[in-house]
Amino acid sequence: MKILTADQIKKCDSATIENGISSINLMEKAANACVDWIQVNFKQAKRFLIFCGQGNNGGDGLAIARLLYEKGFDVEVFIEKNQMKFSADAEINFKRLKLIKGIDINNFSDVLIVNNEKSVIVDALFGYGLNRELSNDFKNLIEKLNQIPVPKISIDIPTGLYADKINEEESAIFKADFTLTFQFYKRSFLHPETGKFCGKIEVLDIDLNSKFIDEVKTDYFVIDGSLIRKIYKPREDFSNKGSFGKSILIGGSYGKIGAVLMSTLSALRTGSGLTFTMAPECGNLILQSQVPEAMFIGVGEKYVDDIEVQEKAVYGIGPGLGKEKQTQKALFDFLKSYQNPMILDADALNILAESQNLNLIPKNSVITPHPLEFERLFGKTQNSFDRIELAKEKAEELQIFIVLKDHHTAVITPERKVYYNITGNSGMAKGGSGDVLTGILTSLISQKYDIEKACLFGVWLHGKAGDLAAAEFSEESMLPTDLINKIGEVFQNLS
């Protein structure tokens, strides 16, 4: 799914209107989509307190107020009575609303502390039209609303957030439990500094002009289920273990054998035909007894001191590797003698960061840093938006894929495209989750998935398995090994 900027959404809006539907009817459609969702998800609510701005986001709020009232809910509307100069469509909806006797229209300043647990606050103050910091009056209102302990819904975007950039200063931002957004994810929903204000995101389809959406150019995408269905290749009949590639996971050191073990197990669970673990001898017994399906190649006693080059294999290097001098030398020797794409993670990245010898990374390789590893490799950035920009530069410069791990992991391609993943949960923020991802990616690439597609599929699959694990064990209790055991269920649901 494409992510558009606020500017592009505005153009998409116009293209939709030029194509037949009037702007007021488009607003009605948007409001109806919200009300349909609210009716299903807030059946028990009694009273909706709806805060409306003067633009079209406010217009949506005014239409939602009328429609909810018609469905039998109690509704109160809050506007800035003295300074209101509504947009054309908001004005029409305001007039429609005023015809209804049962809806109180109050001033923002009339907001009281609401303790009724059956009340819901709806934020329709600003949407994608926000183009500057909020005035103090709005900031005070939002701070007040954020204190009220009732469920909160934002229409399109939580007020105070921009659609596609980070706020310049400490701003007051409406803290939603749910954001009902129209047609597209906005970039700000997917970054940690801004996304934390959105709560659960529901994307509501309002039939915006599909030709415009198909043709509009963007570097930013969300990885959704329909994209994955196009990427997924079911296993062919009449095949043998040689048809599904050879994965070699390299890593482990004394005390960190578990990391490479989890990568190995994940590669197997993702379908790798032949799977090897290249690890120090101290891991032999552990690996052979825990993962009998994998073959063991001993390299060193307590840490990896050599990397064997094998034909027609895909290497995933780094989990639990450590940074011993001999290990560093083994990695550099290997990178100097082997130029095929590989997956580099964890200590393999830390070793490269210390040497700053990043040109040794073979073209089309995949690196999987978390934000701190990214910083060690490429330097500090001010925020996660800047981090993505730097990642785009580096992915192009080095001609590699960067899988930037975060709450919403992003895949950045050498063509500077950015794909945000929306599966996964905070139960995965535990040591070991990254090792699982390395195994999954190695496995998919060894099965001849195109590298970009393997990255998209891999991060999605990883998150999806994490979601199934969280549903069974809770985010707190789920382990990376539970996630590995759920990979199969994700494949079952795909086929």
Min dist CB 217 to ligand NPW, Å, is: 18
* Count of Cβ atoms closer than 10 Å to residue 150 Cβ: 17
Min dist CB 53 to K ion, Å, is: 8
Min dist CB 134 to ligand NPW, Å, is: 5
Place of tokens 């909806």: 93
Burial of residue 83 (CB within 10 Å: 0-12, 13-18, 19+) is exposed
Min dist CB 154 to K ion, Å, is: 5
Integer Cα distance of 168 and 134 in angstroms: 11
Binding of K ion by 60 (CB under 5 A): no
Binding of K ion by 13 (CB under 5 A): no
Binding-site partner at residue 61 among ligand NPW, K ion, none, CB < 5 to 8 Å by type: none
* Binding residues among 175-234 for ligand NPW as defined by CB under 6 A: 182-183, 206, 208
Q: Please indicate if the annotation marks 130 as binding a ligand.
A: yes
* Binding residues among 64-103 for ligand NPW as defined by CB under 6 A: 87
**Which of residues 53 and 251 has its CB atom nearest to ligand NPW in the complex?**
53
Q: List the x/- string, 128-167, binding to K ion by CB under 5 A.
A: --------------------------xx---x--------
Distance between alpha carbon 152 and the CA centroid of its chain, in Å?
22
Closest CA to 278 of 484, 451, 479, 267: 267
Integer Cα distance of 134 and 123 in angstroms: 14
Binding-site partner at residue 76 among ligand NPW, K ion, none, CB < 5 to 8 Å by type: none
Integer Cα distance of 295 and 124 in angstroms: 59
Min dist CB 145 to K ion, Å, is: 11
CB 170 within 8 A of CB 205: no
When binding is defined by CB under 6 A, the residue of 108, 128, 374, 378 that contacts ligand NPW is 128
CB 449 within 8 A of CB 487: no
Binding of K ion by 247 (CB under 5 A): no
Burial of residue 33 (CB within 10 Å: 0-12, 13-18, 19+) is buried
When binding is defined by CB under 6 A, the residue of 5, 57, 272, 409 that contacts ligand NPW is 57
Place of tokens 């195109």: 450
**Which of residues 52 and 465 has its CB atom nearest to K ion in the complex?**
52
Integer Cα distance of 281 and 285 in angstroms: 8
**Which of residues 119 and 183 has its CB atom nearest to ligand NPW in the complex?**
183
Q: List the x/- string, 149-178, binding to ligand NPW by CB under 6 A.
A: ------xxx---------------------
Q: Please indicate if the annotation marks 128 as binding a ligand.
A: yes
**Which of residues 85 and 325 has its CB atom nearest to ligand NPW in the complex?**
85
When binding is defined by CB under 6 A, the residue of 130, 260, 400, 412 that contacts ligand NPW is 130
- Write the DSSP assignment of 4-29 as a string of letters: --HHHHHHHHHHHHHTT--HHHHHHH
Distance between alpha carbon 224 and the CA centroid of its chain, in Å?
10
Q: CA–CA distance from 451 to each of 220, 314, 375, 411 (Å)?
A: 18, 11, 24, 11
Closest CA to 244 of 275, 273, 276, 268: 273
Element spanning 34, H or E: helix 23-41
Q: List the x/- string, 95-124, binding to K ion by CB under 5 A.
A: ----------------------------x-
**Which of residues 183 and 328 has its CB atom nearest to ligand NPW in the complex?**
183
Q: Please indicate if the annotation marks 131 as binding a ligand.
A: yes
Joined together, the tokens standing for residue 204 give: 């509501």
Min dist CB 10 to K ion, Å, is: 16
> Using CB under 6 A as the criterion, which residues of the chain lie in contact with ligand NPW when the complex forms?
9, 13, 26-27, 30, 53, 55-60, 87, 126-135, 155-157, 182-183, 206, 208
